[in-house]
Amino acid sequence: MLYSKYCEYVIKSLAYLSNYGDKDKYVMVREISNSLSIPYHFLSKIFQDLTTTSWVVSKKGKNGGFALAIDPNKLTLLDIIKWSDGIHNFNKCVLGDHTCAENYRCSLHNRCSTLRNSITDFFDTMTVQEVAEINREPHLVNLN
């Protein structure tokens, strides 16, 4: 995909928290880890990093854990990607041409630019709440 495993886990975890909908309900990292099959120690590090954002709040002790501190309808996937991975991967030339830009274009620039803009628009409009709602729907896959 266009983003790291770290970023994928952030998106999944925040979508998981958004399903609780109650800011007074804190969820332990262990529960999220088990539910989403994410390695516990990796997820603990992610949530440690997330406490530097305004997206989650933490509470220690009994009934502690993490909760969303932001409206999941206002947090986009592009916000998360920029925070976790940066936007640099979206702007790289697919052919690795370091001089490829608006002034000097490689042979694939126009096609890639259109695709990159579409992908960026998708991530900029898809919210954590939408991801959470999609994940609640049954997944039907027809392989035939």
pTM across the whole model? 0.84
CATH of domain 5-136: 1.10.10.10
% residues pLDDT > 70 (the chain): 87
For 40-73, write each residue's pLDDT tens digit. 999 999 999 999 999 999 999 888 899 999 999 9
pLDDT of residue 79: 96
In the prediction, which pLDDT does 39 show? Answer: 97
Residue 90's pLDDT band (boundaries 50, 70, 90)?
A: low
Mean pLDDT, the chain, rounded, equals 86
Reduced 3-state DSSP string for the chain: CCCCHHHHHHHHHHHHHHCCCCCCCCECHHHHHHHHCCCHHHHHHHHHHHCCCCCEEEECCCCCEEEECCCCCCCEHHHHHHHHCCCHHHHCCCCCCCCCCCCCCCCCHHHHHHHHHHHHHHHHHCEHHHHHHHHHCCCCCCCC
The answer on pLDDT for 102 being more than 80 is no
More confident of the two residues 79 and 100: 79
Predicted confidence at residue 61, as pLDDT, reads 87
Least confident of 18-27, 57-66, 67-76, 129-138: 18-27
Residue among 129, 125, 139 nearest 20 (CA):
129
Which residues, in sequence order, are bridge partners of residue 27?
A: 66
